[in-house]
Amino acid sequence: MTEEEKQLLSLYRRALIRLATEDPRYVSNLLIWNRWLDTQRLKWIYRMEVEAEAGLPLAVELVSTATLMRITQ
């Protein structure tokens, strides 16, 4: 796994934790995330990014949160 992938996983994990504390809709996503292997997590991240581009609300919220966290680091 590359350093970039590790950083991406860390970023989205923190974004999911933040969203789960603010909105119960994300708790199930976080619980599933915790059971997955890193390869499954990366596939999910890439899928969420595609779904965010398509305008799906949960994906938009997740990707937006991750992007804002990346910018403000």
The tens place of each residue's pLDDT in the chain, 73 residues long, gives: 899 999 999 999 999 999 999 999 899 999 999 999 999 999 999 999 999 999 999 999 999 999 999 999 7
DSSP character string of 17-64: HHHHHH-GGGHHHHHHHHHS-HHHHHHHHHHHHHHHHTT-HHHHHHHH
Residue 73 lies in a domain: no
User: Domain tally for the chain?
Assistant: 1
Residue 17 lies in a domain: yes
- Residue numbers of the domain that contains 25: 3-68
Residue 36 lies in a domain: yes
Residue 19 lies in a domain: yes
pTM: 0.91
Q: Give residue for tokens 């997740």.
A: 62
